[in-house]
Amino acid sequence: MTFVALSLPEPALNEEMQAYFDKCMDKLGFIPNVLKAYAFDMKKLEAFVAMYNDLMLGPSGLSKLEREMIAVAVSSQNRCYYCLVAHGAAVRQLSGDPPLGELMVMNYRAARLSKRQRAMLDFAVKLTNEPWAVEDHDREGLRRTGFSDRDIWDIAAIAGFYNMSNRVATATDMRPNSVYHGMAR
């Protein structure tokens, strides 16, 4: 595996994960390196895929773009190269606004965001940088901008997932697929 700094076994995928990889090839034209990295252990790969699909693609009061924006804002705080490249490309693609993807990677506060989006990202960043400091007034601020309690759960879960993913990607020196660099430019 040249996209991570670890020498991990490369077992055969089970039927379900092979079908998932095939779906990635059909939809994206490539297999994201994060999936290849987790493929050394089917239980870890299945858990990662299930959590990702639930948080990023499942039913939510958050749009897909908003979820990707959280991924980028959290990854920017953590300086996670893999996730900034991959999810920055997703923000460019979903928004149809390439400069927005770049602003999100560098400093979401410089982007022209709605009050709702700014509140969401401020909360995700506070949860990333100072989780002990999150209080009732932070949740109230989200409610005032139109988020439901379920939405607040989703913001927290997505932020938590990317904090974990950022740390694993950084610890393993995971490298993004080169195709991400040119997407939606």
Residue among 120, 128, 127 nearest 151 (CA): 120
The predicted structure's pLDDT at residue 3: 85
For the residues 156-181, what does the mean pLDDT come to? 97
Looking at residue 180, what is its pLDDT? 95
Per-domain residue ranges of the chain = 15-57, 64-171
Domain 64-171 = CATH 1.20.1290.10 = yes
pLDDT band at residue 2 using 50, 70 and 90 as cut-offs: confident
Average pLDDT of every residue of the chain: 96
Taking only the tens place, the pLDDT of each residue in 102-154 is 999 999 999 999 999 999 999 999 999 999 999 999 999 999 999 999 999 99
Say which residue the tokens 């601020």 belong to: 141
**For the domain bounded by 15-57, which CATH number is listed?**
1.20.5.810
* 1 has a pLDDT exceeding 80: no
Question: In the block, which residue shows the tokens 């139109």?
Answer: 146
Average pLDDT of the residues in 164-180: 96
Angle at 99 between CA 97 and CA 103, to 5 degrees: 120
pLDDT in tens, 41-76: 999 999 999 999 999 999 999 999 999 999 999 999
d(CA 39, CA 6): 13
